[in-house]
Amino acid sequence: MALFRTKNLVFDDGERYPILLARDGKPAYMPTLYITTRVRSGNYASKTLERHLRAIMHLYTWAMIDSIDVEIRLAQCEILNLHEIDSLVRACRSSYDVLVQTQNAPLKRQPRIGKVVSYEGARASAPKKTDEVAGPTAANRIRAIRDYLDWLMCASYNRTSKKSGSFDNFETARLYMRDAFTARLPINRGRAEQGNREGLSSDELDLLLQVLNPEDLKNPWSDKSLALRNQVIFLMLYTLGIRRGEVLGLKISNINFRNLEVSIHRRADDPDDPRVDQPNAKTKDRILHLEPPVADMIHDYIIKHRIRIPGAKQNPFLFVTHKPGPYQGRPLSTAGYSKMIETLRKRVPTLPDDLSGHSLRHSWNDYFSKFVDQKRLEGNNITAEREQQMRSYLMGWSEDSSTAATYTRRHVREASKKISLEMQKRFIMEQGNES
């Protein structure tokens, strides 16, 4: 059983406010104070606050496994030692489920009464599980924990400064602990290309679009209204390259059928959104254009199918839950979206195991790169700078963003392969002529 969990509160003005709850269901005081006074005041999105809390949850769970009371320790200006920091950093590489599994692990032999079982000892006797989090995820977790411990130590010193010794000793200890965490951040070497997310191959994309047709025998949804809704979602993800949060956050009013346009907006803490885990856009507001067939399908879904879903008229969001029950007619949730993709993967196992809406964002970028290359061959003078400007606008990035490299791996790899083979062919021909 987990020792802690996060919960999202929704205020009357729509603000989502995450809190950390202990096993007794009460908010953890110091983490709540930290999120409220330090992180929330920075005007960060609720998802950012939740990520900080999940990192702090990791810290407190690790500390309970190792029988460490970090709040008392730091209140006494007693920092974590290097062995403890190393152990905590290793714990940050594990998922929370694995960490809790460690906490619940049966020991190979019963410890003596009063003996403290460390995280390392419990970890050695826990059932083996290899799912470590990615390096950047572990690094973000370590940074969040570092900053929280730093704040916690400063807050404790301010309350007990007259009893805690000189400020110089306190500052030396604080910086020593902070630097120790910083030195242990995973290094992103930027060399391992294999395993990085890419767009779908042409065959995979053709298969996906085929089975999404409500008339296809492999389509997993017998309800034609549900099948159409899901087809429209996937088509918008692919043809527009938008994110999950953007498609789930679309309102009917964002579709301009007269001009064939869809407007993408960031709506953090939208009071119209009843979802506690509110999907939201991470990118800039922008207007994208729709092809008539896609616009027709959206219009057909609204006037022939969505309108028949009980409760759907009570909210302005484009995509709603179709399944009968307490959530029918409410905006489609992130969990419902994920269930849609999971259902599709199970029904068509030849689709990629890591299929996601974001895969289609990568596919969009691959197609955009090929389209621009073709336009250049046809004589259009599209400079690299102009290509980046257009891509950044359509994706919602800033104009000088370097994010494009993340989304064009497949195109770059295939173009590099083509150039390499042509070079090798020419080299062999030249060598043959010389001989």
pLDDT at 415: 67
Q: How would you label 205-216 residue by residue, b for 16+ Cβ within 10 Å and e otherwise?
A: bebbeebbebee
pLDDT at 188: 66
Mean pLDDT of 190-202: 64
Question: Which of 108-112, 311-315, 430-434 is modeled with the greatest confidence?
Answer: 311-315
Q: Kindly indicate the confidence band of residue 118, based on its pLDDT and cuts at 50, 70 and 90.
A: low
251 strand-pairing partners: 317
Mean pLDDT of 280-304: 91
- Region for 114 from its dihedrals, namely left if φ exceeds 0, alpha if ψ lies in -120 to 50, beta otherwise: left
Contacts of 331 (CB under 8 A, 6+ apart): 248, 273, 274, 275, 315, 317, 319, 320, 321
Question: Which of 68-82, 119-133, 418-432 is modeled with the greatest confidence?
Answer: 68-82
Q: How would you label 310-331 residue by residue, b for 16+ Cβ within 10 Å and e otherwise?
A: eebeebebbbbbbeeeebebbb
pLDDT at 77: 81
| Residue-wise pLDDT tens digits, 6-46 | 888 888 888 888 899 988 889 999 999 999 988 887 777 78
pLDDT at 354: 85
Mean pLDDT of 254-258: 95
* Lowest mean pLDDT, pick from 36-40, 95-99, 161-165, 331-335: 161-165
Mean pLDDT of 190-213: 78
pTM of the model: 0.67
| Residue-wise pLDDT tens digits, 344-364 | 999 999 998 889 988 999 998
pLDDT at 121: 55
pLDDT at 435: 58
pLDDT at 56: 95
Flag whether pLDDT at 177 surpasses 60. yes
Flag whether pLDDT at 404 surpasses 80. no
pLDDT at 127: 43
Mean pLDDT of 375-381: 86
pLDDT at 170: 81
Flag whether pLDDT at 93 surpasses 80. yes
Dihedral (CA of 55, 56, 59, 64) sign: negative
Radius of gyration for the alpha carbons in the chain, expressed in angstroms and rounded: 26
Q: Kindly indicate the confidence band of residue 115, based on its pLDDT and cuts at 50, 70 and 90.
A: very low
CA 341/CA 230 separation, integer angstroms: 9
Residue 376: φ, ψ to 5°: -65, -40
User: Distance of CA 249 to CAs 196, 242, 306, Å?
Assistant: 27, 11, 16
Mean pLDDT of 296-325: 96
The CB density around residue 43, as the number of other CB atoms within 10 Å, is: 8
Query: Which amino acid is located at 267 in the chain?
Result: R
pLDDT at 252: 97
Flag whether pLDDT at 248 surpasses 90. yes
Dihedral Cα 321, 327, 329, 334, nearest 10 deg: -40
Q: Which residue has the higher pLDDT, 339 or 123?
A: 339
pLDDT at 191: 44
CA 232/CA 227 separation, integer angstroms: 9
pLDDT at 412: 64
User: Distance of CA 111 to CAs 122, 277, 410, Å?
Assistant: 11, 42, 53
pLDDT at 410: 65
Flag whether pLDDT at 206 surpasses 50. yes
pLDDT at 159: 59
* Lowest mean pLDDT, pick from 3-7, 139-143, 281-285, 374-378: 281-285
- Mean pLDDT rounded to a whole number for the chain: 83
Q: Which residue has the higher pLDDT, 11 or 177?
A: 177
